[in-house]
Structure 1
């Protein structure tokens, strides 16, 4: 399909063009240009719209009633079809722990889903671009909703097994670097090209500083599930802020992190180093949902996901709402928000050479908002993943 989105407000991490044309040809952006006169292309009037790169989720466990930590490939496929309704065009499949063992079946399922999607690019939906293994090498003190029976001691010999199980699709792994054997495992994973994240950690400031020197370039949900930032005991967050190579996640719901602290983190890291995530669970997008997270019952209470004992577990945030939250809560502009929701996560997921920007030759992954910042349509690799009634008509959908 070849068409031009004409006269739109085009925004990404590198530009803010008040009125421009976006030319889509098949799966790619063919051109980004100032609005011109009529030509022989199929022109779609987008003069009342704001177009940004599609959102990239590097830390999500599911949504729409679907879990990503699963042994059912079709459940991941169902999530792929659902998630564009929230503006997401690419995501990492999050896998957590299993009792007293590596989650081998879940990792195999995730890898199979990724390979299946790459063989069938014509199927509409968000693209799974890799796996995020959140644990099992995390701190028991800062495990959050992860039960102790899921946790394991880092073992460099298990690195090869994990790489075999994920078949080259492991893009991100969360590790508590203070654990015995963690440094050796981090070195091995970095050498293999995996983005290593510090998270679910009780490391102090000095331990974090030493670990970051090993090649860690990512931090899992800053503030949450890590030692607190104190003026005489700064913990890992101060080390993360001081390490220029580290991109830090922020759960953008205003619940996991107080709005004032959300703004403070963005000021400390800068929009160029902040990654907005949802850490969403299967209940995201379903009001008053009761659902399961890796065998544990959870429910939505006052906009937050909690286990039966009241423990905060993931979120029910969606990325289209996260964009509005960041603009309302923090000091950033729309271009900077685009960096945090699209370009920066593309860097950690190793797809920044083709996703995260409105750039010629990049994948045609787009979100279309109206002037009130309400999501109108999502284009995934040049195909319509979601559209409301107005945009279904504009895009000639039945």
Structure 2
């Protein structure tokens, strides 16, 4: 159904447009401008902000739902849950299984890509490993890690059925460069991560076609004045993007500022690296690739205390960037929406508030709390405040929208 948002401040790639109109068609943005009369019901969004929907490139789940799963329906359930965090699209992150390859998990992810769904859109598969450096394995099960193998990679590509979008590997491993070339020819974005690579080794990987760094600073050598490492190489390569977990724990705010100032918003992609327990209480237990883990305050840890991803959500990441790091809101939105859209290969239809783009957008209040989320023109999450504004416009809220709108 065609409708109009009126009076909101639209924020898109560094530009804030106050008191603007956003015209929404069935699934795409129809028009953006100062006036839009006679185009359908008008929802008064005065005093609110509208930003492009967030795209989480690197997440393992949330709300109790795992993306590393053998059940496609669990991924669909996550897609229905995650819009409450402002996320309108995501990559399905698959990791390893003890002593084997995650073929069943990859098959489930590929199946989930083909299922009819509402909510956030899965954009493909993000495979983290298995060609990672054991010295920098982080929370990954050691038996999952292995030496680069072209035949094995071909099998993983086949099981993924053309949906593999990103793969993390350690470029210093023998034979890794050959796999970089193979992945690039299959249209897969190669990410450097869980690596002990030197600056020189990372540079060669970027020259071979790598163009992403998995969760910068974490599970890799630090940036040192005589050993710049992967971060130093990343800064110098204009075509590469760095992921940043913006929870303030994986990377402290001063280091976050350094990376963002070095790369700029167009080369920094905010990710959650969230675990299935994101959004759940402290003490909640879960499994990460066969290893027991739990929520510990504002982070997730294995039983030995190792950080095991985060419990961050994208809306909290936005607030952290603004309040803890001092990033201008428009730049923060670029890092949560526009830059990830480019990495995921969907920049022609997502990550902007432009005519013809998917109607994926988030309505925020002045405190940057999510008021409503629309995925491809459909209301996927709404609070009581948005419910009241819809009612004032004469619109009835579907019962399929999550329960928070009725509270």
TM-score, normalization by structure 2: 0.94
Moved over 4 A (4+): none
Q: Distance in 2 between matches of 1:244 and 1:57?
A: 22
SS of 2:220's partner is coil
Do residues 163 (structure 1) and 170 (structure 2) align?
no
Do residues 9 (structure 1) and 9 (structure 2) align?
yes
Do residues 322 (structure 1) and 317 (structure 2) align?
yes
Q: In structure 1, what is the equivalent of residue 404 of structure 2?
A: none
Q: Distance in 2 between matches of 1:321 and 1:235?
A: 30
The 8 Å contact of residues 98 and 289 in structure 2, kept in 1 or not, is answered as: no
Aligned residues: 392
Give the CA deviation at 1:40. 4.8
Q: Distance in 2 between matches of 1:212 and 1:330?
A: 28
Do residues 308 (structure 1) and 303 (structure 2) align?
yes
Q: Distance in 2 between matches of 1:336 and 1:35?
A: 26
**Matching of residues 184-199 of structure 1 within 5 Å:** 184-199=178-193
Structure 2 residue aligned with 1:275, among 259, 264, 269?
Answer: 269
Runs of 5+ consecutive residues of structure 1 not aligned to the other structure? none
Q: In structure 1, what is the equivalent of residue 88 of structure 2?
A: 89
Q: In structure 1, what is the equivalent of residue 212 of structure 2?
A: 218
Runs of 5+ consecutive residues of structure 2 not aligned to the other structure? 391-395, 400-407
Q: In structure 2, what is the equivalent of residue 144 of structure 1?
A: 138
Give the CA deviation at 1:236. 1.1
Q: In structure 2, what is the equivalent of residue 54 of structure 1?
A: 53
Q: In structure 2, what is the equivalent of residue 381 of structure 1?
A: 376
Q: In structure 2, what is the equivalent of residue 391 of structure 1?
A: 386
The 8 Å contact of residues 263 and 329 in structure 1, kept in 2 or not, is answered as: no
SS of 2:352's partner is coil
Do residues 348 (structure 1) and 343 (structure 2) align?
yes
Q: Distance in 1 between matches of 2:387 and 2:165?
A: 34
Do residues 134 (structure 1) and 134 (structure 2) align?
no
RMSD: 1.2
Q: Distance in 1 between matches of 2:350 and 2:17?
A: 19
The 8 Å contact of residues 141 and 289 in structure 2, kept in 1 or not, is answered as: no
SS of 2:339's partner is helix
**Matching of residues 208-287 of structure 1 within 5 Å:** 208-287=202-281
Q: Distance in 1 between matches of 2:173 and 2:364?
A: 45
Give the CA deviation at 1:148. 1.1
Cα deviation 1:93-142 (Å, max 9, x = unaligned): 000011232210000000000111xxx2xx42111010000111111000
Give the CA deviation at 1:394. 2.7
Q: In structure 2, what is the equivalent of residue 24 of structure 1?
A: 24
Give the CA deviation at 1:393. 3.2
Give the CA deviation at 1:234. 1.5
The 8 Å contact of residues 76 and 113 in structure 1, kept in 2 or not, is answered as: yes
The 8 Å contact of residues 98 and 290 in structure 2, kept in 1 or not, is answered as: no
The 8 Å contact of residues 124 and 384 in structure 1, kept in 2 or not, is answered as: no
Give the CA deviation at 1:158. 2.5
The 8 Å contact of residues 141 and 291 in structure 2, kept in 1 or not, is answered as: no
SS of 1:298's partner is strand
1:196–1:40: structure 2 CA closer, same or farther, 3 Å change rule?
A: closer
